[in-house]
Amino acid sequence: MPVEALIFDIDGTLADTEEGHRTAFNLAFERFKLGWKWDRDDYFGLLRVTGGKERLVHYIEHLRLGDAEKRRLVARVPDIHAEKTKFYSSMAGDGGIPLRPGVARLIAEARAAGLKLAIASTTTRSNIDALLRATLGAAGAAWFAVIACGDEVEHKKPAPDVYRLALERLNLAAANCVAFEDSTNGLRAAVGAGLWTVVTPTMWTEGSDFANAGLLLPHLGEPFQPLPGEPGRRLRAAAWLTLADVHRLAA
Ligand code: XBP
Ligand code: MG
């Protein structure tokens, strides 16, 4: 079936954002004088929980505190997360978080070929708008026919809900779309929605179980940042993922 749309995850896929999220969480913890600090080792484990609010609740529930104190802290999660989102959105909006290699190039190829673009992400909408504006310009967000994200679905990744919502809004079958992800949770969500998926891990997710990926690459590549050993291993057209190779491999 022909590929008519590309559906991108945001965090880790469009851009390597999680260090920015981790910094924003820690800034919010300081603002609220919570005495918490998530270092990288902490965050590697916490990233197994998708959704910033859900991640905060998970963290609180594993603190050595009485139930009443945990309940009091859990009640503050929406405010803590809103503050974190303000910090992150301004960081992303200031251009502090660039797109990963090949993302802008493949988006331009897809637009030129008349394909639809969509986003299926766990993160908060304001984070997405800030990142797209800063990296693709004011018109950038409008290039995406569909943005499905955050709390629009009850069950976040690895549940397939956000991808099913994106497909519904695109009015396309999974067989006519390709998903781009960076994590096991994201891959399970995309495959669960029936999508052939390209996985480009980051340092936060590399080495995870990507057995169900349609294609696994370190990143999408650029003419000035070619993928080692390509073309000739997984790619045929060039040493970066072209739309021609997406069509060929997804078929
Ligand atoms: C990754 C996530 C998000 C971000 C933090 O989302 O799980 O929760 O870590 O963003 P993606 P929020 O599906 O884009 O990889 O704090 O807004 O949830
Ligand atoms: Mg991701």
Q: How far does the centroid of ligand 2 lie from the alpha carbon of residue 72, in Å?
A: 30
CA atoms within 13 A on the CB side of 190: 30
Gap between the Cα atoms of 6 and 110, Å rounded: 8
CATH number for the domain spanning 9: value is 3.40.50.1000
* Closest residue CA from atom 6 of ligand 1: 122
> What's the confidence (pLDDT) of residue 160?
98
User: Which tens digits make up the pLDDT trace of 18-28?
Assistant: 999 999 999 99
Domain assignment of residue 112, given as a range: 5-16+98-250
pLDDT of residue 1: 79
pLDDT < 70 regions, the chain: none
- The CATH number for 59's domain is 1.10.150.240
The verdict on whether 161 is a catalytic residue reads no
**Residues 87 and 175 occupy one common structural domain:** no
Same domain membership, residue 144 and residue 231: yes
Do 103 and 34 reside in the same domain of the chain?
no
Look at residue 141 in the predicted model and tell me its pLDDT. Answer: 87
- Residue 192 is predicted with a pLDDT of 98
Phi-psi bin for 229: left (phi > 0), alpha (psi -120 to 50), beta?
Answer: left
Instruction: Tell me which long-range contacts 149-154 makes (C-beta under 8 A, separation of at least 24).
Output: 149/10, 149/119, 149/120, 149/121, 149/122, 149/123, 149/124, 149/125, 150/51, 150/121, 150/122, 150/123, 150/124, 150/125, 151/124
Residue 121: alpha-carbon gap to chain centroid: 5
> Within this chain, do residues 25 and 105 fall inside the same structural domain, yes or no?
no
Same domain (yes/no): 88, 102: no
Give yes or no: residues 77 and 102 share one domain: no
Q: Do 115 and 234 fall within a single domain? A: yes
At residue 167, the pLDDT reads 98
Domain final position from 63, 93, 123: 93
Which residue CA neighbors atom 16 of ligand 1 most closely?
A: 52
Ligand 1 neighbours by CB, cut-off 6 Å? 9-12, 18, 21, 50-52, 85, 121-124, 127, 157, 186
* Domain tally, the chain: 2
CA of 232 to the centre of ligand 1 (A): 34
39 a catalytic residue: no
Question: Final residue of a domain: which of 93, 117, 139?
Answer: 93
**Entry pTM:** 0.97
Considering the domain architecture, whether residues 114 and 235 belong to the same structural domain is answered as: yes
**Which domain-ending residue is among 74, 93, 112?**
93
Indicate if 118 and 230 belong to the same structural domain. Answer: yes
Question: What b/e string do you get for 198-237 counting C-beta neighbours within 10 Å, with b at 16 or more?
Answer: bbbbbebbeeeebeebbbebebbbbeeeebeebeeeebee
Q: Are residues 162 and 214 in the same domain?
A: yes
Q: Phi and psi (nearest 5°) for 226?
A: -65, 150
75 and 197, same domain (yes or no): no
Residues 236 and 147 reside in one and the same domain = yes
pLDDT of 111 reads: 98
The answer to whether 142 and 119 are in contact (CB under 8 A) is no
**Angstrom distance (rounded) from CA 248 to CA 4:** 13
Tell me what pLDDT residue 41 has. Answer: 98
Q: How far is the CA of 123 from the centre of ligand 1 (A)?
A: 4
The residue nearest atom 15 of ligand 1, judged by CA position, is 11
